[in-house]
Chains A and B, each alone.
Chain A
Amino acid sequence: MPKLDKQFIKKVRRQDRFATRAITVGGLLVIASVIAILVLIVRVTLPLFQPAGAEISHRLTVKSGTAPVLAVGMDDTQEVGFTLDTTGLFSFYDLASGKPFFTAPASTRKATVQSVESNKNNVFALLWEDNSVTVSQVDFRLLYDDSGLRTVQPEISQLGDYPPRSYPAPVKSMMVRSHEGRLTQVALLADNRFQIDHEVATTNILGDEKKEAFSFLLNEELPGPITAFTLDEQGSALFAGTGAGSLLRWDLGENESAERTDNVVAVAGDKPVTALAMVFGDISVAVGGADGSLATWSQIWTGEGDDRVRRLRKTHTLTSHQAPVERIIPSRRSKSLVSLGADGKTHFDHMTSEKHLLNLDPALTMAGISGQGNGLIGLDSKNTLTVWNVDSPHPEISLKTLFGKVWYESYDKPEYVWQSSSASDDFEPKLSLVPLLFGTIKGTLYAMIFAVPLAIFGAVYTSQFSTAGFKKTVKPVVEIMASIPSVVIGFLIALWLAPIVEKAILAVILGVLLLPLIFVTIMAVLRPFYKTPTLQNFCSGHEFLLLVPVIFLAGALAMGIAPFVEQLLFAGDFKQWLYNDLGLRYDQRNCIIIAFGLGIAVIPIIFSITEDAISNIPPSLTAASLALGASRWQTIWRVVLPSASPGIFAAIMIGFGRAVGETMIVLMATGNTPILDWSIFNGMRTLSANIAVEP
C-alpha cells in the first residue's frame, strides 16, 4: 500500500477544519436568528402590557380675580387649555408659556351660569340662572403660515340657544341632548322631580318641516332623593341615582311618555350614588358611590322566551376609591374613565379590561380629557391648571381580556369573543385569543387525524412492500403534490369540493365506514388463496392494486345506499336531522373540508420525510430480522418503525407545523368563524388566517 501523500493529508485536514468551522458558524447563526426572532416577538408584544404612565407636561395658574371655574378642557395637540367660568366666559391659555391669550363669551347674556354639563368632547351645555340653556362648542383650527409654522386658533361656536321654559319648581340641574332633529331637555327640579321637554322636528318627502313639542313632569314616586342623573346621546334613556343607592332608568319616548325600566341597587349599604356618566358608546353607564365604589352597568337580555327583556346588570367593577366618587369623566375615544374622589385622588380606569391605569394624586376639583384621550387637564382648589400627558396606548389589553371570559357591552354573559374592529369609534374591541387558539388546534387536529395515518402507512408500504419501480414513480409524484400552492388548494376545496361534499355528506361518512368493512371482508374471503403461487406472484409488490376495487366498491356502495339510509334513519334529510336531533349545524365550509385541504398540503411532507427515514435504516437490521425468521410485518413493526421513529416524529412535527401555520387554505375554506365548538360539521378561525383577514 503506498504511503499517503503528506500534502494530501494536510489538505484533507484543512478541508475538515474548514467544514467544521463553517458548520459551527452556520449552526450558531441558526440559533442566533431563532433567538433574535423570539426577542423581536417579545419586543413587539411587551408594549401591549406596559403599564400606563402619565407625566405632568404643563402647569400654570389661572388668572386671579376671575369667576369660579366650572369646566376645563384642551385641544388635541395639547398646546392650548381653557377654562369656562360662572360668567360664561371661555379663557384660553397657551400651555407652554402659561399665559392667557384669548377669551370669548359663550353667549352675549350678562348672567351667571348655574351649572355646566358636557357629553361630547369640548361641547358644553350651560344652564343660566334664568333656566335658559346655551350649548357651545370649542373648536381648534390648525393654521399654517407661509413658512409652515403651525398655530392653534380657538373658536367658539354656538350649537344651540334655548329660551327658559316654565318650571313648577326651581331647577337644580339640566341636561340637553340634540340628536337627529330631536331636542331633549331633562331638568331636575328642587322638589325631586324631573321635567322632560321634547322637541321633535320631522321632514316629510315634500321637504316641509314639522315641529312638535312635548313637556311633561315625571310624576312618579321616586325611591329617594335624586343625587345624580345623566342622559344618553340620543336623549332616549334617562339614568338617575338616588340617595339610597338605587339606580333608575327610564325610556324616554318620542312623545309624552317615559317608561321606567329599571330600579336596581347600585351602591350597597344605603349609601348614595354620587356620580353618573355614560361610558363612550352610550351603552354602559358608570356609577360612582359614596362608599368610593366605581362600577359600570349596562342593559342585557334576561328572561326566557317571550318574557325576554333588557335589564340593567352590573358588568364591570372598577378599582374603588377610598372616599366618595365626586365626578366621572368618560374618555371620548375609548372605554376609559377618569374618576375624581373626594379625597383628592384621581383614578384612570378602563372599563373592558377593568385595568386600573393610573392613580394621580393632586386634589382636582375639575378635569377634562383631550379629544384623543391621551391628555388630562385638571384644576385644583388653588386654581392651578395641570396638564398630564397620558401614555396608555393599549388600555384594553390585559391577560384577562386576551385569555379570559369578559363581559362585553350588550352581551348576555361573560364570553370569549374575537371581534376586533368596526367602522365606528365607540366600538368595544373584543380581543379574546381563546377562539383563535381553539380554532387553530381544532383545524390542525382534524387535519392530522386524516393525514398522519395515510402518510405514514403510505410511506411504510412504499419503502417496505412495493417494488423499486413503483417507489421510483410514487415518491416524486407525491412530492410534486407538496408544490401545489395552498391558494389553489383552498380555492378548489372551498368552491368545488365543499358543495359536492355537502350534497353527498352521508355518502362520504358511509364510505369512510364501509371501506375497512369491505376490505376486511375481501381479505377473509381471499384467506384460503393466500398461499397460491398466482396470488403470491401477483401480489408481491402490487398488493395495493387489490385495494383499488375495494375503494371503488365502497364508494359506489356508499353512494348507492346513502339515499335509502337517509330515508330510513334520518327522515330523508341528514343535515336536517343533525340540526334537529343533535343540534349540530352543518356548514358547507367545515372541518371535513379542511381536513381534506390541509391533508393534501401536509401528506406529501410527512410521507416524504417518513419514507426517507425508513429507507435510511441499515439493510443489515432488516436482513438480520428476516434471517431470524421474522415475517415482513414483524420486521416492520418491531425493527423498522422503532429505528425510524425519530425521523417519523420529525416528519409529523414538520407536517404539524405546516398545518398550524397554513393560512390560505383555512382562510378560503373555513369561513373564519371564531366559534368554540368541536363539531366536525362547522368551521373555525385560526390564528394564521386571522392575521390575513384582519386589517
Chain B
Amino acid sequence: MMMHKGFLNNVTKAALAGCLIAVTATTAFAEAVTVDPKIPAYKKVSGVSGNLDSIGSDTLNNLLTYWAEGFRKEYPNVRIQIEGKGSSTAPPALLSGTAQLGPMSRAMKSEEIDAFTKKYGYAPTRIDVALDSLAVYVNKDNPIKELSLQEVDAIFSKTRKGGLSEEITTWGQVALTGPWQQAPMSIYGRNSASGTYGYFKENALFKGDFKDTVKEQPGSASVVMGITEDKNGIGYSGIGYKTSGVKAIALSKKKGEKGQEASFLPAVTTEFLKYILSKAGQEIVIKDGFLPLPAKVVEKELAKLK
C-alpha cells in the first residue's frame, strides 16, 4: 500500500444517467406496454431543495423534461434545467461542473471516463433509466416492411462490415418493385455528438463508417421530419420520436450493457434519480414512447444509489 498526494473533492456532485438502447424488433410494440408492478412507488423525503442541471442526450430530452415536471410536483423548491444537444456534450459538462446529470444514450467511452476520473478521482456513476429502441424509419408511403442488419449496414455504411459485398443505393436492391425499383435512397442520420450515432455505428454498421451521403441532422426530431418530407428517405432515430409521417421497420435484436460502481451524490441528485426509477418515473417513460425498465434492473440500479 502506498500513500499518494491528491485530495478528494467531496462536494463534487457528478453522476451519469445512461439510457440502455437496444435495436429491437418493432413487433414488440404490438402489445400494450405497462410498468412492472414490482417497481416500488416513489417515497417522498423531506429537505430536498436546490438546483439540478442536466446536459446531454437529445434523445432523452423530452423524457427528462417529463421527469422534471413530475419531480417538481413532489419538491416545488427544486429547480431543474435540462439541455440536450447530444450525448457527447454530457461528459464535458460533468467535467466542467456545469451539470450534475449527464444523460447519455450510449455508454461512456474509456477516454471520457479517464478524463472524469482524472478530474474527480473517482469514476462516474452510470444509472440505466429506460430502454430505448433505436428504429430505422422510412417514409410512411414506403411499402418496405423488413430489413436485415446486413442490409441496413450496406445502406448506411461504406465499409460494409456486415458482409454484403455490394452497397445498397436504390430501393430496388431491397426488393421493392414498380416506381420504387429505380428510386435512389436518401439517407438521414444524427450528427456525431449524438449517442444514437455512436450506438448505430457500433451495432448496425458493425463499427464501420457511415457513407458520406448520410445527411447528418442536429436532432432526433429533424431526422424524422426529414424523412416525413422525403419520399425516398431512410434514417435512424429513437423510437420515442416516431410520428405518423414515418414508419419504423423491423430489425433484429441486440442487448444493452451493464453498469459501474457508485460514488458520492448529493440529496437532490439522488432523489431525482430515485424518482426516475420509481413507478411514476417509469410511467413517464411509457408516456414518452420509450420502454420501461424491468423491476430487476430497477432494483439493481437503485442499489447503486445507496
Contact = CB atoms under 8 A, between A and B. Distances in A.
Interface stretch (A209-217, A345-353, A596-604, A670-678): A670-678
Contacts of B110: 333, 425
A40 B102 CA distance: 31
B84 interface: no
A424 B197 CA distance: 11
A417 B214 CA distance: 13
Interface in A90-104: 94, 101
A423 B202 contact: yes
Contacts of A430: 209
Interface string B169-189: 100000000010011101010
Contacts of B160: 301
A422 B165 contact: no
Contacts of A675: 212-213
A418 B209 CA distance: 10
A101 B197 CA distance: 46
A168 to B, nearest CB: 35
Interface string B79-116: 00000001111000000000000000011011100100
Interface stretch (B3-11, B25-33, B291-299): B3-11
Contacts of A254: none
B290 interface: no
A148 B233 CA distance: 55
B1 A693 contact: no
Given A80-B2, A682-B213, A306 B111 contact: no
B7 to A, nearest CB: 4
A674 B212 contact: yes
A672 B191 contact: yes
Interface in B185-203: 186, 188, 191-193, 195, 197-199, 201-202
Contacts of A77: 4
B229 A499 contact: yes
B140 interface: no
A587 interface: yes
Contact of B111 (A425, A435, A495, A683): A425
A188 to B, nearest CB: 29
B109 A423 contact: yes
A663 to B, nearest CB: 11
A427 to B, nearest CB: 7
Nearest to A80: B2
Nearest to A675: B212
Contacts of A645: none
B245 to A, nearest CB: 12
Contacts of A683: 215
Interface in A302-361: 306, 308-309, 333
A392 to B, nearest CB: 15
Which size class do B's interface residues fall under?
35 or more
A673 B225 CA distance: 17
B209 A419 contact: yes
Nearest to B90: A695
Contacts of B225: 495
Name, among A301, A410, A495, the residue most crowded by chain B CB atoms within 10 Å (CB to CB): A410
B121 A142 contact: yes
B4 A424 contact: no
B207 A435 contact: no
A372 interface: yes
B216 A671 contact: yes
B230 interface: yes
B165 A308 contact: yes
A408 B161 CA distance: 14
A693 B216 contact: yes
B201 A423 contact: yes
A568 interface: no
B255 to A, nearest CB: 11
B122 interface: yes
B161 A673 contact: no
Contact of B109 (A424, A579, A692): A424
Most buried by A among B107, B110, B197, B222: B110
B218 interface: yes
B53 to A, nearest CB: 18
A182 B186 CA distance: 39
A499 to B, nearest CB: 5
B208 interface: yes
Given A420-B192, A422-B198, A423-B199, A579 B212 contact: no
B4 A410 contact: no
A138 to B, nearest CB: 16
Given A425-B110, A675-B212, 7 more contacts: A142-B122, A149-B6, A372-B114, A419-B210, A586-B184, A682-B213, A692-B218
Interface of B: 1-8, 86-89, 106-107, 109-111, 114, 117, 121-122, 158-161, 165-166, 169, 179, 182-184, 186, 188, 191-193, 195, 197-199, 201-202, 207-210, 212-218, 222, 225-226, 229-230, 233
30 contacts: A79-B2, A142-B117, A148-B7, A148-B8, A149-B4, A149-B6, A149-B7, A150-B4, A150-B6, A150-B8, A151-B4, A153-B1, A410-B159, A411-B209, A419-B210, A421-B88, A422-B202, A423-B87, A423-B197, A423-B201, A424-B198, A424-B207, A427-B207, A502-B230, A576-B182, A588-B226, A671-B188, A673-B213, A693-B192, A695-B88
Interface of A: 76-77, 79-80, 94, 101, 142, 144, 147-153, 281, 301, 306, 308-309, 333, 372, 408, 410-411, 417-427, 430, 435, 495, 498-499, 502, 573, 576, 579-580, 585-589, 667-668, 670-675, 682-683, 685, 692-695
